[in-house]
Amino acid sequence: MINAKQLKECTKNLTVLYVEDDDRLREDTTKLLNNFYSEVHTATNGLEGIEKYTKGSYDLIITDLNMPVMGGLEMSREIKSYNFEQAIIITSAYDESKYLIDLINIGVDTFILKPLDLQMFLAALYRVCKGISDAKELERFYDILEQKVVEETEKRRQSEQMLIQKGRLAAMGELMQAIAHQWKQPLNGLGLILQDLAEAYEYGEVNESFIKDMVENGMAQINFLSKTIDDFRSFLMPGRKKVPFNLHDAIVNTLSLVGVNFSSQNIAITINGDKTIQGIGYPNEFKQVILNVLHNALDTMEERDTKDRCIEVSLFSKDTYAVTTITDNAGGISSDIIDKIFAPYFTTKNEEKGTGIGLYMSKTIIEKNMGGRLFANNTGNGAMFTIELQQST
């Protein structure tokens, strides 16, 4: 037996459209329904019911079967054509068995005989409305869950962007160090030119030919400084859309900026393989990944005091991918940590050397931003990092 409290628990937030042509029965039943439902609207026939339905939203429709103008069966069939999930209860003063197949076929939830037995009516309402209430609760749960997923995804995206920005700042610091190395020679050259010019003037050796040579040499040094700045600015400019780019050229360009850091540590870098191969992605972001992997190898070699230091970069095609491998001879990655090296903030270096975001940023750039793959494994003498990008045809 269903009591009023049980019924109200699952109907208090639901709306009802009650369609009945009998004025007295419609008035009495509406009073009963108002005790349980948040809103109860009424109509006197099926046509009026459809008009109200198209203007509002109802969780449940309760309708008589036989009514003037339009009956409950025809109304239910039309409403189900709008919304097959609409819950409908049919009432009738007769055992209209000839309609039962039609009622089942159009998806009516239940059929109740008049005069309405209160307990049977409440039980039918509870059975149907419990399903509606549970479905609404489940939908609400899914909405909350979906919103949580959206919020957490956005938090993760913002966190990743912050890590990537930190990685870019770290890369900028390394590039500035490389630029400082590269600028030493041309700045010294300009200093010598000015010193030579002053001495030549003192000894009366300044003539048109001398001035021309000094200007040419000075401009050559200045052009080198300017090109270094242009390369630096281009390196840090993020890509806005994926484009085909030459992997070999991107790597050579990166080494032109930071190669001095490696040569000063007696590290020989060689590039082998297909110099024409092209990948699809963001060229400058790819250069940042190359820089991160190369510097990771450099730090490991310094930490382990590796002898005969060398890094080999290989370029080749594999299926539909343009592949870059970077292999060092620094002894490899410990099996205890090889599965953790791409995790954010994971590092084996001291605070001055590492932040634990370089490889994480690199994996995010290659896999999430460029749709490729970045992974690492050990070779005979060291570690090999593999970058796979979709190949440009």
CA nearest 71: which of 40, 50, 98, 100? 50
**CA 183, CA 251: separation in Å to the nearest integer?**
21
In angstroms, the CA 39 to CA 124 distance is: 19
In contact, 248 and 336? CB cutoff 8 Å: no
Nearest-Å Rg of the Cα atoms of the chain is 39
CB atoms within 10 A of CB 195: 10
d(CA 313, CA 287): 13
Cβ neighbours, 10 Å, residue 64: 24
**Strand pairing of 321-328 and 383-390?**
antiparallel
**What tokens appear for 167 in the block?**
């990685």
Q: Strand 268-273 to strand 383-390: parallel, antiparallel, or no bridges (unpaired)?
A: unpaired
Other C-beta atoms closer than 10 Å to the C-beta of 270 total 9
pLDDT of residue 331: 93
Q: Tell me where in the chain the CATH 3.30.565.10 domain(s) lie.
A: 237-390
Q: Where in the chain is the domain with CATH 3.40.50.2300?
A: 4-116
pLDDT tens, residue order, the chain (393 aa): 667 788 888 888 899 999 999 999 999 999 999 999 999 999 999 999 999 999 988 999 999 988 999 988 899 999 998 888 899 998 887 666 667 767 777 778 888 888 888 888 888 888 888 888 888 888 888 888 888 888 888 887 777 777 666 666 666 666 666 566 557 666 777 887 788 888 888 888 888 888 888 888 888 778 777 776 776 666 656 666 889 999 999 999 888 877 777 887 899 999 999 999 999 998 888 988 898 899 889 989 999 999 999 999 999 999 999 999 999 999 999 989 999 888 877 776 655 555 567 788 888 889 988 899 999 999 989 999 999 999 987
Give the pLDDT confidence score for residue 375 in this predicted structure: 96
Q: CB–CB of 385/376 below 8 Å? A: yes
Q: Which residue bears the tokens 């003498």?
A: 381
> Which candidate, 75, 70, 71, 60, places its Cα nearest to that of 110?
60
Contact at 8 Å (CB) between 303 and 349? yes
231 contact partners, CB below 8 Å, separation of at least 6: 253, 256, 257
The dotted CATH code for 4-116 is 3.40.50.2300
Q: Would you call 144 exposed, middle or buried from its count of C-beta atoms within 10 A (0-12, 13-18, 19+)? A: exposed
User: Using CA atoms, how far apart are residues 141 and 147, in angstroms rounded to an integer?
Assistant: 10
Q: Does domain 237-390 have CATH number 3.30.565.10?
A: yes
Q: Residue 375: phi, psi to the nearest 5? A: -150, 165
User: Residue 174: what pLDDT?
Assistant: 61
- Beta strands 278-281 and 243-246 are antiparallel
CB of 198 within 8 A of CB of 189?
Answer: no
The predicted model scores a pTM of: 0.51
Predicted confidence at residue 321, as pLDDT, reads 96
User: What is the residue whose two structure tokens read 């048109």?
Assistant: 208
Helices (H), 71-117: 72-82, 97-106
Q: What is the per-residue pLDDT for 243?
A: 92
According to the model, what pLDDT value does residue 63 have? 92
Residues 362 and 301: beta-carbon distance below 8 Å: no
Distances, alpha carbon 92 to alpha carbons 51, 118, 275, in Å? 22, 15, 83
Please check whether residue 280 is in contact with residue 244, taking contact to mean a CB–CB distance below 8 angstroms: yes
315 and 386 Cβ atoms separated by less than 8 Å: no
User: At which residue do the structure tokens 């990771």 appear?
Assistant: 296
